[in-house]
Amino acid sequence: MTESALPGSPSAPTHQKSHVALGYRWGQIAAGHHMERALQLLGCQVTYVGLPYRERTGWDGAMPAAPLLAELPEPPDLYLWIDSAGRYFPPGIADLPIPTACYLIDVHLGHWRESAARFFDAVFIAQKDYLPAFREAVGHDQVYWLPLAAAPDVHYDHGLPRIYDVGFVGNIARAHQKTARARRLKLIAERFHTNDLYRPHTPAEVGEVYSQSRIVFNTSIAGDVTMRVFEGTASGAMLLTDSIANGLEELYEPGREIVTFEDDADLLEQIAYYLAHEEERAQIAQAGHQRAITQHTYGQRVQTLLATVAAPTFRQCAPMRTASPEERRQARFDVLTHLYMLDAIFDEAKAAGYGPLRRAWTALPCLLRRLVV
Within a 13 Å sphere around the CA of 77, how many CA atoms are in the beta-carbon half?
12
pLDDT above 60 (res 260): yes
Long-range contacts of 349-355 (CB under 8 A, 24+ apart): 352/325, 352/326
Mention every residue, 6+ apart, whose C-beta is less than 8 A from residue 54: none
Domain ranges in the chain are 19-149+299-321, 164-296, 325-372
Q: Give the pLDDT of residue 174.
A: 54
How many alpha carbons fall within 13 Å on the CB side of residue 140? 16
Which tens digits make up the pLDDT trace of 156-209?
A: 999 999 999 999 998 776 556 678 889 999 999 999 999 999 888 888 899 999
Question: What is the spatial distance between Cα 26 and Cα 28, in angstroms, rounded to a whole number?
Answer: 7
What integer pLDDT is reported at residue 88 of this predicted model? 92
pLDDT tens per residue across span 352-363: 999 999 999 999
> What fold, for 19-149+299-321?
Rossmann fold (3.40.50)
For residues 301 and 1, which has the higher predicted lDDT (pLDDT)? 301
Q: How confident is the model at residue 9 (pLDDT cuts 50, 70, 90)?
A: very low
Q: What percent of the chain has pLDDT over 70?
A: 94
**Residue 214: C-alpha distances to residues 65, 140, 163, 237, 332 (Å):** 47, 44, 8, 5, 46
pLDDT per residue as tens digits for the range 113-144: 999 999 999 999 999 999 999 999 999 999 99
Residue type, 314: F
Same fold, 19-149+299-321 and 164-296: yes
| Full-model pTM | 0.92
Average pLDDT score, the chain = 91
Rounded to an integer, what distance in angstroms lies between the CA atom of residue 264 and that of residue 183?
9
Right CATH number for 164-296 from 1.10.287.610, 3.90.1150.10, 2.60.40.420, 3.40.50.2000?
Answer: 3.40.50.2000
| pLDDT of the residue at 79 | 97
The pLDDT score that the predictor gives to residue 176 is 63
What's the pLDDT score for residue 170? Answer: 87
